[in-house]
Amino acid sequence: MAKLDYSKWDHIEVSDDEDDTHPNIDTPSLFRWRHQARLERDEAWRKEKAEFEGSYKAFLQKYNTCQQKLAEAKQSNSADLPELMEQMKQLEKEDQEWQPKVEEFKKKDRLRPWNIDTICREGKSKTIINSAALKHEEAPPTDDSEEAAINRLKDFVNKHNKDIRRFGLFQKPLDSQNCLLENPFLVCEETANQLVLWCIDLAMEEVGVSSLSLQFNKYHSHLSIDLQNAFCVDFFFYYKADCMTSFGGRIISSGLACMIVHNFCLSIMRRSF
């Protein structure tokens, strides 16, 4: 089984806080001196590395240029071919001299003691910028007044009332989700407000129908002196239910059914009198 190599951990210049110092030595000053010395060594190494890499890069550029010219000269049988071949031979010799220097430099860089600035290196970096995938309707300039909010609601409802009502009639969450994905402009405060107002209107309509039914029954009971109230109620609601489900093959609203049954009852009572 291969053993792990811990030699790179032998020399780490990370922290001097736990080092033992002589009582007569000013510890903070010693730490500052060590830190300054490390910074100077790092700066000297950066300069040496930049100089070496610059020289090697210049050599590689010269080598590649000569190699390209030599290939072109061979194809065109240029008169400069012997001179270029001589230059290429010299550059190949220099390349052989450079290889040990490069290996030695890499080894020197690898064996340098680690410190707080070099012990951690960024492996990879990724930046993600979120962008709006859906284009929502831009609201007009914000105005906190109630009148402006009402006007915005009216304009929005006049433009999208059909889509709002279609969304409000969905009962399954998946249908509602698909509707909003198809119509992303509905995801706004105006849609929520209009749905609330619509619910209130529907609730008030049901209460209004109940009140209207009660008034019609009272009116019928007053007209029919010989009939009891219970009979008028049964008679009225029986014909109302039948009217709502079979009037001309169409389903009509409760309010309209009340009006039709009311007129029907009046005609019967007038004939009976």
**Residue 52 binned pLDDT confidence (cut-offs 50, 70, 90):** very high
**Residue 251 binned pLDDT confidence (cut-offs 50, 70, 90):** very low
Whether this prediction's pTM lies above 0.85 is answered by no
Neighbours of 175 (CB within 10 A): 13
The identity of residue 257, as a single letter, is A
Residue 56 CB partners (closer than 8 Å, separation 6+): 98, 101, 102
pLDDT digit string, tens, across residues 71-100: 888 888 878 888 888 888 998 999 999 999
Q: Which two tokens stand for residue 144?
A: 């906190």
Q: Identify the three-state secondary structure at position 26.
A: coil
pLDDT digit string, tens, across residues 137-168: 555 555 556 788 888 888 888 888 888 888 88
pLDDT digit string, tens, across residues 37-51: 888 888 898 999 999
Nearest of 30, 34, 32, 90 to residue 66 by alpha carbon: 90
* Residue 3 DSSP symbol: P
| Domain residue extents for the chain | 26-115, 149-187, 197-273
